[in-house]
Structure 1
Amino acid sequence: MFWSHSYRAVRQQWRVCKTLARRVPGASHYPLCPISPSMARAFHAARPLLAVKPVLLADIGEGIVECEIIQWFVEPGARVEEFSPLCEVQSDKASVEITSRFAGVVKKLYYEAGEMAKVGKPFVDIDIEGDANEQDTKPSTPPVHQTELAPTQAPVRPAAEETAPAQVASLTAREVAAQSEPAGRPKGKHATLATPAVRHLCKTLNVDISEVEGTGKDGRVLKEDIQRFVARRDARAAEPAAQPEAPAPQPTVGGFGSPESALAAGPQQETRVPLTRTQEMMFKTMTRSLSIPHFLYADEVDFTSLVELRSRLNKVLTTSSPGSGDASTAEVTKLSYLPFIIKAVSMALYKYPILNARVDVDPNGNGNGGKPTLIYRSHHNIGVAMDTPQGLLVPVIKNVGARNILSIASELSRLQSLARAGRLTPDDMSGGTITVSNIGSIGGTYLSPVVVEREVAILGVGRMRDVPAFSDVPGEEDKVVRRQVCNFSWSADHRVVDGATLARAAQVVRAIVEEPDVMVMHLR
């Protein structure tokens, strides 16, 4: 209110000054007019807000500085609403959909699909005052049933795309529509819509996804489209010159080719294949992790009692009525050994919290004079290494100390389902304090795991196997019994963790796994 009154008073005073300047010579020196008319012209209101808003790529945490644009959901000229999806990006952790902060018309896309976008930099411009005109709102490619050709024009297709009548009868309507489209029609950015699994298939088969016509919803490229495109490409490549007939394959023994057939196949050939996004993430992460001085500690754990306890609990879960108990754990119908191991690790962290800490090197000397420090963390966020179709991923089970076995199993099942579908979020992949890698589910007995960056320890679990052992029952020491044994392999950051500390912590985990009834005394 004060500024409004002041602004009106100054405007009124300047109008008086201008009037005096026109009527009386030298009125610019009038006491009521301390500012000359020429200077008064420079006075103006505040600069109007810009109509075109640049949208910045937000920081998604964990020190990520760039993301790959996987696909765009909009094109220049498209109308967007607030919180509508703009694009999907792939970071070092997971894929994320970026939504719009404004409602308006898209004016500019700073990156193409497949390019790296910088965090904190603009990646799209939106006109918040504009409206999509009729030309902008038209689809970039007209539907097939509305496409009209001139009388003298006809769609020209390569000979490899000609389909026999018998084959046409077996094609679906979607495939017939895709083959009947003009081959040279322009493709918009919607032609590159595809899931991460389809993009991985494109990289494997060396296919440019922008050249593939998508037959899915909104022009999405499907696996069938990629396979059909590769078949046509190979057929066209084989047409120009007839290749000599290849020699008959040599008989194989047990599914493996003979050495003679390998030598007769010709000189060694090498194929260059770029790394997938997940492999690039693993390359960067492991390169940084191997700058940490590691040491390995291995132990042998008797799973016999845990096998019996798990068998009894699974019988209870099988006979219990569906939907009984907590809603968050109602879907658990069978327990694996991994939730017990994760809980045992969490219980050991209460006695040895250094294994739950992280090292802050502080290279810039911010707040600590450049000296390294240990940062202890209260929650036990245990990462679980998983083998997925996209590669190695490490989702995190948060606050394990406050969870029971069923809650851990339920969260583990949820993360495994999301990992297989490639739908893990950055929150699912961030915040880990220690990692467990269960290589035994594939078959390894021993391993030397690599400590994850921002952590100081990792546990590798080998496969369980039956071994003969002497009985520990008094009076039956000479009796040989069967035991289920599993190997635990620990790695730790030797800059802050010594061997004795890790050995004592490993003994705590071993004691809990070998006597799992101890967990009952520590329920929270």
Structure 2
Amino acid sequence: MKPLPSPQALRLLQGLIRRPCLATRPRPCPPFLHLSKHFHAAARLDRTETHVLSDIGEGVKEVQIIQWFVEEGAPIEEWSPLCEVQSDKASVEITSKYSGVIKKIHFGQDAVVQVGDSMVDIEVEGEEGEGEVEDNAVQQQQQNSSDLADAEQLAEGGGEAVREEAELLEEKAAPGLRSEPSGKHASLATPAVRGLLKEHGLAIEDIPGTGKDGRVLKEDVHRYLEKGSGQPSPSPSSAPPAATRPEVDAKQTETPQKLTPVQAAMFKSMTASLNIPHFLYSDTADITNLALMRAKLNAARNPETAPKYTYLPFIIKAVSLALNKYPLLNARLDVTTDPKKPQLLMRPVHNIGIAMDTPNGLIVPVIKAVNARSITSISQEIQRLSQLGQAGKLGNNDLTGGTITVTNIGNIGGEVVAPVIVEGQLAIVGVGKVKTVPVFADDGLTVKPAQVANISWSADHRVVDGATMARMAQVVQKYLEEPSSMLVDMS
């Protein structure tokens, strides 16, 4: 079998067969007219650089790989995305430190990578030392001449023969030398798109992407679903047979399924939370006056400049005002510096996390410096975080630094919740569904409708006693029942 030409000769051959003159001339155009770019004044030196997982902050020691944006043999540019990883804090996109060709990927999808581990090997192009340039330049010139001769010899048989030979060689050549795209963008998609695919049980490879470099967009998924729904439904004869349904005496089976990155992060976080001794405090707040104020504000607002007010920004501001009176609930318990002498770390800034339901699962973005914000500012920040959360684009800074958490389970349903404290915090508040109930008026005789909601607290019983928690809860309840009193205490 005739030996394959060198990679350099292959590149020259590919340049030859793509020139228009091959369609009309029996011999290729002179190679020196269009291949001079392959000559270098200095010799090229291909070396391999290893991209390691750097420290991404916030004490993160390991991450789980959600998806790779590259594959072995594909070219990569500096600062281009390599992969997306999920820590117990946030989803982060890792970018390349080098430009070159991916030689080896050390970890697969869903693998857990420690900080400092090698992630990928990248073959990069560099220059040799000055002492070796002259000798190697001569060798390179001789090699280039040989490569040109090989390319011209392969081109002797005419355009079609060269084309067939080139196709055969490209199939056998290393993937990194192929001039056609290697398809590394075929599986690119945002977490929101992947959540949509998972919801409908679709494979991303089956959907044509119309985004940049073939990226699959939400519109592509919806278009694919509409096309599928327009097809005629299968006839009854093609429906799954009744035998596929379990029999009454069928044996139970269990199919392993890996946790999603968000579920894995929640598993770790909640497992750590089990070390905190919880206690629950719950009460019902009459928020009729708040409901009336909210309705007036929404009716008078300019939709183009002001966000729509929900109950949540008022609740968050009420919690922040109450923390001014009970700063203990904003502190952190330090048991690692000296386990024999635990201490409280007091924190003056109120960074309040909000539990949020997203296509990727439960996440807790953080509204920073609530004690320096107005209710309108809080509402705008909730809107920003919600939009990023639905799109799967929340950054590490959006998901870290919380000092206390609010979870509004009432948006989905349920009146009472026993929330679990987030590690590094001392308390969490859960708000139930707002409902209308009959209550007695001040005269004790007449009955009137009222808007009420259950508010439940969980606190760390190692440093927070029941009385302190109850007093804190009463202050928050007062602010919600008489929202005008918040104006007096706002600084």
TM-score by length of 2: 0.69
- The aligned residue for residue 327 of structure 2 is 353
Q: Give 1:503's match in structure 2, choosing from 445, 470, 482.
A: 470
- The aligned residue for residue 32 of structure 2 is none
- 1:67, 1:118 within 8 Å by CA — same for their partners in 2? yes
Q: Is residue 379 of structure 1 aligned with residue 349 of structure 2?
A: yes
Structure showing greater Rg: 1
The alignment-based identity, stated in percent, is: 53
More off after superposition, 512-521 vs 343-352? 512-521
Q: Give 1:493's match in structure 2, choosing from 452, 460, 465.
A: 460
3-state DSSP class of the match of 1:444?
coil
- The aligned residue for residue 66 of structure 2 is 70
Shift of 1:76: 4.7
Shift of 1:404: 0.3
Ranges in structure 2 where 5+ consecutive residues have no aligned partner:
1-45, 128-161, 165-179, 229-236
State the AA in 2 paired with 1:359.
L
Q: Is residue 402 of structure 1 aligned with residue 369 of structure 2?
A: no
For residues 188-207 of structure 1, what are the alpha-carbon distances to aligned partners after superposition, in whole Å with 9 as ceiling and x for unaligned? 54443333345456767888
- The aligned residue for residue 451 of structure 1 is 421
3-state DSSP class of the match of 1:414?
helix
CA distance in 2, matches of 1:437, 1:399: 18
- The aligned residue for residue 112 of structure 2 is 116
Q: Give 2:272's match in structure 1, choosing from 280, 284, 288.
A: 288
Aligned in 2, Cα 1:245/1:417: closer, same or farther, shift over 3 Å? Answer: closer
- The aligned residue for residue 336 of structure 1 is 310
State the AA in 2 paired with 1:431.
G
Aligned in 2, Cα 1:243/1:469: closer, same or farther, shift over 3 Å? Answer: closer
Q: Is residue 313 of structure 1 aligned with residue 297 of structure 2?
A: yes
Shift of 1:352: 0.6
For residues 378-432 of structure 1, what are the alpha-carbon distances to aligned partners after superposition, in whole Å with 9 as ceiling and x for unaligned? 1101010111111111111111000000000000011111111111111111111
CA distance in 1, matches of 2:239, 2:468: 68
More off after superposition, 95-104 vs 424-433? 95-104
Shift of 1:361: 0.9
- 1:212, 1:225 within 8 Å by CA — same for their partners in 2? no
State the AA in 1 paired with 2:478.
A
3-state DSSP class of the match of 2:450?
strand
- 2:74, 2:182 within 8 Å by CA — same for their partners in 1? no
Shift of 1:96: 1.6
More off after superposition, 378-387 vs 271-280? 271-280
- 2:356, 2:363 within 8 Å by CA — same for their partners in 1? yes
State the AA in 2 paired with 1:120.
G
Q: Is residue 411 of structure 1 aligned with residue 381 of structure 2?
A: yes
Q: 1:208-287 maps to which residues of 2 (within 5 A)?
A: 215-217=209-211, 218-220=213-215, 246-247=241-242, 268-287=252-271
Shift of 1:101: 3.2
Shift of 1:490: 0.3
- 2:75, 2:102 within 8 Å by CA — same for their partners in 1? yes
- The aligned residue for residue 97 of structure 2 is 101
Shift of 1:289: 0.8
- 1:72, 1:190 within 8 Å by CA — same for their partners in 2? no
Aligned in 2, Cα 1:213/1:406: closer, same or farther, shift over 3 Å? Answer: closer
Aligned in 2, Cα 1:307/1:74: closer, same or farther, shift over 3 Å? Answer: same
Shift of 1:73: 3.2
Shift of 1:464: 1.3
Aligned in 2, Cα 1:200/1:479: closer, same or farther, shift over 3 Å? Answer: closer
- 2:284, 2:453 within 8 Å by CA — same for their partners in 1? yes
For residues 154-188 of structure 1, what are the alpha-carbon distances to aligned partners after superposition, in whole Å with 9 as ceiling and x for unaligned? xxxxxxxxxxxxxxxxxxxxxxxxxxxxxxx9975
Q: Give 2:57's match in structure 1, choosing from 41, 54, 61.
A: 61
State the AA in 2 paired with 1:357.
A
Aligned in 2, Cα 1:518/1:201: closer, same or farther, shift over 3 Å? Answer: closer
Q: Is residue 125 of structure 1 aligned with residue 121 of structure 2?
A: yes
Shift of 1:300: 1.1
For residues 40-99 of structure 1, what are the alpha-carbon distances to aligned partners after superposition, in whole Å with 9 as ceiling and x for unaligned? xxxxxxxxxx96443321222333222222333344555544433222222223322222
CA distance in 1, matches of 2:246, 2:104: 54
- 1:106, 1:125 within 8 Å by CA — same for their partners in 2? yes
Q: Is residue 425 of structure 1 aligned with residue 368 of structure 2?
A: no
State the AA in 2 paired with 1:406.
T
CA distance in 2, matches of 1:489, 1:62: 29
Aligned in 2, Cα 1:245/1:398: closer, same or farther, shift over 3 Å? Answer: closer
CA distance in 1, matches of 2:377, 2:89: 24
- 1:202, 1:226 within 8 Å by CA — same for their partners in 2? no
3-state DSSP class of the match of 1:193?
coil
Aligned in 2, Cα 1:505/1:350: closer, same or farther, shift over 3 Å? Answer: same
3-state DSSP class of the match of 1:192?
coil
State the AA in 1 paired with 2:359.
P
State the AA in 1 paired with 2:188.
L
Aligned in 2, Cα 1:187/1:273: closer, same or farther, shift over 3 Å? Answer: farther
CA distance in 2, matches of 1:245, 1:403: 58
- 2:355, 2:363 within 8 Å by CA — same for their partners in 1? yes
CA distance in 1, matches of 2:332, 2:420: 15
Ranges in structure 1 where 5+ consecutive residues have no aligned partner:
1-49, 132-147, 151-184, 233-241, 250-260, 323-329
For residues 119-168 of structure 1, what are the alpha-carbon distances to aligned partners after superposition, in whole Å with 9 as ceiling and x for unaligned? 2223233455449xxxxxxxxxxxxxxxx998xxxxxxxxxxxxxxxxxx
Aligned in 2, Cα 1:270/1:149: closer, same or farther, shift over 3 Å? Answer: farther
3-state DSSP class of the match of 1:280?
helix
- 2:352, 2:402 within 8 Å by CA — same for their partners in 1? yes
For residues 326-372 of structure 1, what are the alpha-carbon distances to aligned partners after superposition, in whole Å with 9 as ceiling and x for unaligned? xxxx3x3310011000000000111111100111111xxx4x47421
3-state DSSP class of the match of 2:434?
strand
For residues 467-516 of structure 1, what are the alpha-carbon distances to aligned partners after superposition, in whole Å with 9 as ceiling and x for unaligned? 222222xxx34222222111100000001100001001001101111111
Q: Give 1:483's match in structure 2, choosing from 450, 454, 462.
A: 450
Residue correspondences, number: 388
State the AA in 1 paired with 2:105.
L
